[in-house]
Amino acid sequence: MTRPPDEPRPIDSQPITSGAVNTPPAGTDRVPPGPGGVPSLPADSSRYGTGGFGAPGLGASGAPTIAVSTYPDYAAAQRAVDYLSDNKFPVERTAIVGTDLRLVENVLGRLTTGRAALAGAASGAWFGLFIGLLFGFFSNSNWLAVLLAGIVIGAIWGAIFGAIAHATTGGRRDFASRSSLQASQYAVTVDAEVADEARQLLTRLNWQTSGAT
């Protein structure tokens, strides 16, 4: 028996699964993995630190590091690493870490237009000396005359530019200064595998420094 063409077709009661996302049955906790897979954790921020003085951390190579000694200034920390190097210690596994960094600007004196021009003249004279030597090597004329001409021309232009640079500040910075970064203390860190050897050498250095026999 045939169905008339204008008769509506019955709707299938079974769900269509082709091309659709399967939903887990109710009561289950399993969630299907996403298309990107398992997300990766962020990188360990302590890889390049020491984990605090005396606490292990990770160095640039990924090896654990330990602070074996701390010093109040950089010169002392540098002297300690130099002593390790003199005693055949693998200093490539050593680092100097400064903490509590601060910017220190030391004021050298009052700066006037005349002093700025004088400083510019000195810088220009050095540059003129370099140019004079360069042209003197490839010139057939008097070598000394070329050298002196370079120094004089460099000093004149340096003084002009120095005076103009200071005048453009409008008196907002009438002093000369020198800036530097300083830390409250410096730690000598080494790889954990060689920490005991480094401690023994630095203890010997402390004995020698204190004058103990």
How confident is the model over 1-19, as pLDDT tens digits?
A: 444 445 544 444 444 444 4
Bridge partners for 66 per DSSP: 190
Which H or E element spans position 170? none
Are 181 and 102 a contacting pair, CB within 8 Å?
Answer: yes
Residue 45 pLDDT greater than 60, yes or no: no
What is the structure's pLDDT at 143? 79
Instruction: Give percent of the chain with pLDDT exceeding 90.
Output: 43
Pair of tokens at residue 2: 């045939």
Question: CB neighbours of 46 closer than 8 A, spacing ≥ 6?
Answer: 57, 58
Q: Which secondary structure element, helix H or strand E, spans residue 68, and what is its range? A: strand 64-71
CA 120 to each of CA 26, 112, 134, 164: distance values in angstroms, whole numbers, following the listed order: 82, 12, 21, 10
74-131 per-position pLDDT tens digit: 999 999 999 999 999 999 999 999 999 999 999 988 888 889 999 999 999 999 999 8
Give the contacts of 66 (CB within 8 A, at least 6 positions apart): 50, 54, 55, 56, 57, 189, 190, 191, 192, 195
Least confident of 1-5, 83-87, 137-141, 168-172: 1-5
pLDDT value of residue 57: 57
The pLDDT value given to residue 147: 87
- With a cut of 50, say whether residue 27 has pLDDT above it: no
- Specify whether the CB–CB gap between 105 and 175 falls below 8 A: no
pLDDT top residue among 21 and 186: 186
Question: Any idea how long the chain is?
Answer: 213
Query: What pLDDT band is residue 50 in, cutting at 50, 70 and 90?
Result: very low
Amino acid at 69: S
How many other β-carbons are positioned within 10 Å of the β-carbon of residue 124? 22
* CA angle at 136 for the pair 130 and 138, rounded to the nearest 5°: 115
H helix intervals, 40-108: 74-86
| Closest among 200, 181, 183, 210 to 96, alpha carbons compared | 183
Residue 205 has pLDDT above 80, yes or no: yes
Identify the pLDDT of residue 15: 43
- How many other CB atoms are found less than 10 A from the CB of residue 203? 12
Q: What is the pLDDT of residues 52-82, one digit of tens each?
A: 444 455 555 567 889 999 999 999 999 999 9
Phi, psi at residue 127, to the nearest 5°?
-65, -40
Domain assignments of the chain as residue spans, ordered by start: 61-101+183-210, 111-180
The CATH number, out of the four listed (1.10.3470, 1.10.287, 3.90.320, 3.30.70), of the domain defined by the range 61-101+183-210: 3.30.70
